[in-house]
Structure 1
């Protein structure tokens, strides 16, 4: 108890004073504010957050700005959290107005989210922590997170913060920068993020592009899952960029060696190949002799007799033997013939028949000669 009837003359409730921490007790902090008796900061006036150890909030010798909460003859009650809160609200209102991003340290995990100290109690709801689901938030305590203010109400003492908004803003900015950097013909590496019936979506590092199923490989593709798997790294070429609608068309096929590359090393004129009839047109048939390599059998080369349409002899999906008449790798043209194989086969059979006929005539002559010798 002080010796004077009033140890704190001239002090008024609501007034701001400065003081130095001289003692830290279990439930209060004593502060020298220039009077014989120290001012008192009760535990509940120290911080807007739950305090386990007051030494984590203040230390001996700290110079503090405080607001007077109560004055009696022998005691003055001070508040640090009131000053912190007043300064914090002004700062938070400015941050909200500027849509600012700032860092906070997570102090607690509570039901429904995370708590941080921004001069007042700030709350990050669970749904606003990450862009993905988080099962256990315990690892966030004492960690730093970049946040934005999504709701601020001083009357209700409510500050809602979001780390997810920062992540999404960064992703959006990165996406815009990536879109601006893309150009037709550019070759990039990406990751297969999703497979559909009509193609594959490839993550280029913040934005997805579509590889249509027709652009997956040089050969016909029935299912994209036969070519790639989710998570696989692939090289793709940019076909087109629609920046307004954020659509990117890609090709995997264009980054692969073409089926016609160095084809002349495997195929040459006069060679007989097995192929599959892929298409029938008025002027002939297209036959695939290697994956992605089709040659034309002109209607005049389909049979060794006159035909009105290719359909008279061939059908799609039929396996046929064809002879290479000419190959032009540069123009990707391959001329084929079925007729020449048939003609060669007929000529071979005819020669075999003549050989057999000559042999039969020779044997018949010997037989007749032997019989005539009997009558001599």
Structure 2
């Protein structure tokens, strides 16, 4: 006990000794130590007990801290999935603020709404379907179950008539997806975006809550007249622009960019494989007055109006429409200048074949008046076979011009005077059947 008292009293005693030594620096050490020892022994038992109480209490407190700190660290280091609800509440027990991302568990659920027991909040949260999914047709019961853990952002605090925090999973996704969009900016990587509407000048699509504008010139490789056909579709796009504006990000996308790259790669391979006389199935991409452009494995070839059918047609659109799949034969190819000539009629039977057997001389047949010349009228016997009725064979009376006695489109009887397969000519007479 006396030893403990001496140790505990060392500090004040030494301080006095030090001070005294400072005044009398030449005093011997032994002379200084003797009065210190005598003063220590003179301390009363009452004072010793008082000092002992003051020393024991801090030591006890210090011992308590040394035991509790490792326990606290063990709780902090424990994975959240292994924590009890009480431990989670303790970990997240701090004031809840607007915009905070908070965790909780689903305790009540239907198709449109879920109630979430929030960790570290005094009230539960409410989560609506339209704050979970970007798909309007989805059901909340298909997206989550009772007991599921949820991470959501607080977008409204409890109010007088509603004790729930209003939550949003979409807003959490929106924050994370912004980084995803910026990560692919200007790169060849694509993201899937769902087209919501067609507006003036392009399409409006969304990716995880972010609005993306796709200019009409970036919707397809070729010009698109009806943008509404893309509404509701999920399309792959490249992010070509991203600009911060008043707290939001303006994003511009392109469907054309990756389509053009794929088309160029496919074209290169196709040009290596194409040869004259090959037959391919192609898609009608565009129509003009002089023909149709047919796509064959990414390569566009020209199907001239004269190669669509053996018969005469006013314009390609009278026989074909965009999107049609047709069989065509390659009749000309220029790989150096990337030109391809196609024909549909080359795959059709030549109507002039065995013409003399189909239309023997002096036979009476029906024909359609299709056009006039100064020297007569051409009468179509079948698509691709037109016969000439000379002006002298139009009537027994004198005829100044064919239109005096015939009308374009009339179906009339004529006699075959002569048919020539080699020269592809048929001579007809109208007056022979009058």
TM-score class, shorter: 0.3 to 0.5
Flag the structure with more relative contact order, 1 or 2, with Cα contacts below 8 A and sequence separation at least 6. Answer: 1
Larger Rg: 2
Higher-helix-fraction structure: 2
Task: Tell me the TM-score normalized by structure 1.
Answer: 0.45
